[in-house]
Structure 1
Amino acid sequence: MRILIKPRPLFGSVTPPPSKSMAHRTLICAALADGSSVISNLHFSDDVKATLKSLKCIGASWRRIDSKIIEVTGTAGRGADGTQLFECGESGSTLRFFIPIALALYGHGRFTGMGRLMKRPQGPYLDLFMEKGINFSYAKETLEVSGKLTPGEYLMRGDVSSQFFSGLLFALPLLSGDSALAASTRLESLPYVDMTRGAQMKAGVEIEGGNGSYAIRGGQSYAPFSASVEADWSQAAFWMMANVLGCGIRIRGMDDASMQGDRAHGLAIAETLADKELKNVEIDISDCPDLLPPAAAAAAVRGEGMVTSFRNAARLRMKESDRLSTVTSVINALGGCAVEERDGITICGLDSLNGGVEISCCGDHRIAMMAAVAATRCNKRIVLDGAECVKKSYPSFWTEYKRLGGYVEELEDE
C-alpha cells in the first residue's frame, strides 16, 4: 500500500492499542493452563494472530466472546503431540517463546515464519541446547528442534534478546525437577522478563530471583485466570514523540503502574528531547530498543545544532529490518542529518525536514510509524511505500492518524 502524507500537526485524544508483548505472554500462560481463561482488551495484530495460531499446536483452543474478548481453553499440553507446524508469521516473540515450550512438552517442534523471521538469530538457544543434547536443523524456511528439555542449570547470553529468557521461563516450571537460569552477560530489556513473570504469577506460576538470575521450581502447573491486556507504551511513544515535535495529542488509557519498561524510558526520553537547554544528548537504548524509531523522529527536528546520540542499539540490526540502517536512511531521505554507527545512531537536529520524497517502509511497522511522526514537521508531502506493515502491531494506526487531523491518502500502485 502506497500512501501520501501531507505535513500537518496532530491534535486530539488517542488510546494506544493493547500491548502485544503482554498479549503474547498472557495468551501463552492461558494455553498452558488446564481449563478456560478469559482474556479481554485483546487487539488482533498480525503478531498476536501468530501466537493465537500457535496455541493450537500445544493442544489449546480459543473462541471470541466479542470483538476484544476471547476465551482460551488450555489442556496443559495434552491434545497435541508436537508434530504440528508452528506458523509464527513475523513474530520473534512467538518463535522464541514456543521453541522451549515444545521441547518441554513433546521433545520436538517444527517452526516456520515470514519476512526476516527465520533469519533472525537463535544463537543463545543454539549454544545452550547443544550443551543439553538438543538438535537444531534448518530446511528451507523451516526450523526443527528435537530433544527433551531437562531440569538443570542454564547459562545464557543476555545481550541478544530477552525473549530467549522468557521462553525458558515459560517452559522450565513444567519440568519434573528444579532449574536455574542465569545470564552470562548483562540481561538487556530486563523489564520484558519481568512482564513474563508477571503474567505467570496470574496463572499461579512463581519464579524466584531477578536481574538475570532465576530459580525455577519444577512440577508447577499453570492455572486458568482472567486478565485484561493493558495499553502499549511502546506504541504510545510515537504519539509522545509527536508531541515533542509540536503536536497536541492527549494519550488516554495508559497504566501508570505498568511493568512495561517502555513506560518509564519513553517518558524520560520524551522529556529529554523536549528540553531545549540540552544541546548534546546521549541516550542508552539497550533496555528499550523499540523506542529508537519514534525517538529518532523527534531527535531529527529538535532544533538546529542539537545533537542526539543513541547508544547500545546493535540488537536493532536483527529486527524486521536492520533498524540502525533503515532509521538512518529514512531520516536522511527526509532531509535530516543522521549518521549510522556500529551500535547506534547520531542525529544532528534541524528546525524542519524537507520531505518531498517517496520512502520504502522496508516491511517494518516501526519505520512506517516513525516516518509518519516525522512527516508532521516536513515542508513537503511524502509518500510511503508498504504502509500496510503497521498491521504487525498497530492495525488502526492510519485510522487514528487521520482522526487526529493527519492527511493520509491511499495511492494506486504504479
Structure 2
Amino acid sequence: MQLRASPHDALSGAVALPGDKSISHRSLMFAALAVGESRITGLLEGEDVLSTASALRRMGVPVERHADGTWVVQGVGVGGLAEPEEPLDLGNAGTGARLLMGLLAGHPFTSFMTGDASLRARPMRRVIEPLRQMGAAFLARSGERLPLAVTGRADLLPLAWESGVASAQVKSAILLAGLHTPGLTTVIEPLPSRDHTERMLAGMGARVTREALSGGRVRIGIEGQPELRPQSFRVPGDPSSAAFPAVAAAITPGAVVRLEGVGLNPLRTGLYTTLAEMGADIAVDNRREEAGEEIGDITVRGSALVGVEVPPGRAPSMIDEYPVLAVAAAFARGRTVMRGLGELRVKESDRLSLMAEGLAACGVDVMVEGDDLIVEGGRQPAGGALIDAHLDHRIAMSFLVLGGRAAAPVTVQGAETIETSFPGFASLMTGLGARIGAVAP
C-alpha cells in the first residue's frame, strides 16, 4: 500500500488520539492474570493489540469487546493460561510477543510463536537469555528469532538480572515471569525505561519495589505468586502517536493543534522536552490522573525551530519518537545531533539507517556516525521521493509528516502497517488540514 503526502497550509483543530499501545497490550495481559472480571476503555484497536487479544483467547482467556467499545476480560489468575492448540501469531506486535514470552515462561506446556516478516526478523535473544536462566526452554531460528517454541515451568527460579540496555520490553518480560516464582525477581537497568508494567501491577496488588542506584541505574523488583485484583483500566491517548500531529504542527507556520487526553508519563515525554528545547510552542493544560497515569491536553503552535543536541540519556523516554524528531530537525535552523540511538537498529526495522536514507532522498543533509544521527536543517526539504518504509509504521508516518511541508509530495510504500499502532492516522491528519491520500496501484 502506498500513501502520498502533499504540501499543505496551516493545520488547526482538536483531536483525541488512539489509546496508548504499550498500556493497551499490558491491560489485556494483566487482566488475564487477575482473578475476576476486568474492564478496559480506550483500548487501542490497532492490529498489534488485536493480535495480543487473539493470543490470549487461544490460551483460554475470555476476551470480549462490547458494542460501546468497552473490552471485558475474565481473568484466569497467575499461572492459569491453557496450552494453545495452534501457533500464536502476533503479527507485527513486538511488545505483544516479548511480553507474552515472559508469561509463557511460567506455564508448564509448550507454545509456538510466530509473526509477520518484520517480527520474524527481530532479535529475541535479550528476552530469551534471562528467561532461560529462570528455567524456561526455547527453540528458535538462528539469531534467536521467531518462529520459536517456548516450554515453560511451573517452578521458575527467581532471578537477579542486570540488563545492558534500558528496554521496557525486556524488563517487563522478566517481571512477568517473576510473577510465577516463589521469591523476589529483580532487574537493574542502566537508565529508567517506561514504567507502565510496574505501575499497573502494583495497582493490581503485586509487591513491586523500585530503587535508584548510582550512575542513573535503577533496580526494580517483584515478589512472585501474588493474587492480582481485577481492574477497570482507562487507556490514555498514546504520546508516541501524538508525536506525529505534534511535529506536523510545530513545523507548520500558523498551525494550532490541540491533542486531547494524551499520556504524560515522565518516562514517555522526551520528545516534548526536546521540541521545547528546539523552540517549539507547546503548552499542556487540564492535567489529571487516571488509573495511575498522568494525562493532559497538549496544544502545539507552529514556530521557528533551532537545532539542538539530544543526549543519549534521553533515549529511553523517546525511543519510538526519534524518526519523527529527525523530521522536525530537517526543518530546524542549524544542526541537530541525536546521540546513542543503537536501540533503533533493532526495532521494526533498522530505523537509524532508514531515516538517514529517506531524509537524504528528500534532499536533507544527514549523516550517521556510529549510533548518532546528525541532521543539518534550515532549508525546506525538496521531497519528491518514494520512500520504502519496510513495513515500519513509524517510518511511514514520519515521512508522511515530512511530505506535508516539503517542496514536493512524498510517497510512502509499505504504509499498511500504520494500522498496527495508529488506526485512522491519515483521516485524523487530513481532518487537521494535511493532504494525505492513497496512491492508485
TM-score normalised to structure 2 length:
0.85
The corresponding residue for 1:286 is 315
Contact 1:8-1:406 within 8 A present in 2 as well: yes
| Match status 1:409 vs 2:424 | no
Structure 1 equivalent of residue 230 of structure 2? 224
1:96 is matched by which residue type in structure 2? R
Kindly indicate whether residue 433 of structure 2 is the aligned counterpart of residue 400 of structure 1.
no
Quick one: which amino acid aligns to residue 412 of structure 1? A
Deviation at 1:165, TM superposition (A): 1.0
Alignment of 1:259-274 (within 5 A): 259=265, 261-263=267-269, 265-274=270-279
What secondary structure is seen at the aligned counterpart in 2 of 1:39? strand
Matches within 5 A, 1:328-339: 328-339=356-367
For the aligned residue pairs, the C-alpha RMSD in angstroms reads: 2.2
Q: How does 1:141-290 map to 2 (within 5 A)?
A: 141-148=146-153, 150-159=156-165, 161-175=167-181, 177-183=182-188, 186-187=190-191, 190-192=192-194, 194-211=195-212, 212-246=218-252, 248-255=255-262, 258-259=264-265, 261-263=267-269, 265-274=270-279, 280-284=308-312, 285-287=314-316, 288-290=318-320
- CA distance in structure 1 between the partners assigned to 2:259 and 2:35 by the alignment: 35
After TM superposition, the score normalised by the length of structure 1 is 0.91
Determine the structure 2 residue equivalent to 1:5. 5
The change in CA–CA distance for 1:277 and 1:134 in structure 2 (over 3 A counts) is: closer
Q: Which runs of 5+ in 2 are unaligned?
A: 213-217, 281-303
1:331–1:380 distance in 2 versus 1, CA, 3 Å: same
Alpha-carbon distance change, 309 to 359 in structure 1, aligned in 2, over 3 angstroms: same
Over 3 Å counting, the alpha-carbon distance change for 1:335 and 1:67 in structure 2 is: farther
1:129-156 Cα offsets, whole Å, 9 max, x none, are: 4444532212595201224252323314
- Structure 1 distance, partners of 2:245, 2:311, is 19
SS of the aligned residue for 1:252 comes to: strand
Q: Identity of aligned pairs, percent?
A: 26
- Identify the match of residue 85 of structure 1 among 84, 87, 112: 87
Unaligned runs of 5+ in 1: none
Kindly indicate whether residue 331 of structure 2 is the aligned counterpart of residue 324 of structure 1.
Answer: no
| Change in 2 beyond 3 A, CA 1:394/1:280 | closer
How far has the Cα of 1:178 moved from its partner? 1.0
Please give the per-residue CA displacement for 1:94-143, whole angstroms capped at 9, x wherever unaligned: 11111121121235432111122123222223332444453221259520
Amino acid at match of 1:38: R
CA contact (8 A) 1:137 1:144 kept: yes
CA drift at 1:380: 1.2
Compute the displacement of 1:3 (Å).
2.4
Q: Which moved more, 1:241-250 or 1:309-318?
A: 241-250
Aligned partner of 1:118: which letter? R
2:396 aligned residue: 368
After superposition, the Cα gap between the structure-2 partners of 1:181 and 1:226, relative to the gap in structure 1 and judged at 3 Å, is: same
Number of residues paired by the alignment? Answer: 404
Tell me if structure 1 keeps the 8 A contact 2:2–2:411: yes
Residues 350-375 of structure 1 deviation map (CA, whole Å, 9 limit, x = unaligned)? 32011122222221111111112112
Q: Is the 8 A contact 1:32 1:74 kept in 2?
A: yes
Equivalent residues of 1:180, 1:213 under 8 A apart: no
The one-character-per-residue Cα deviations of 1:277-301 (angstroms, maximum 9, x if unpaired) are 9555334352121110111000011
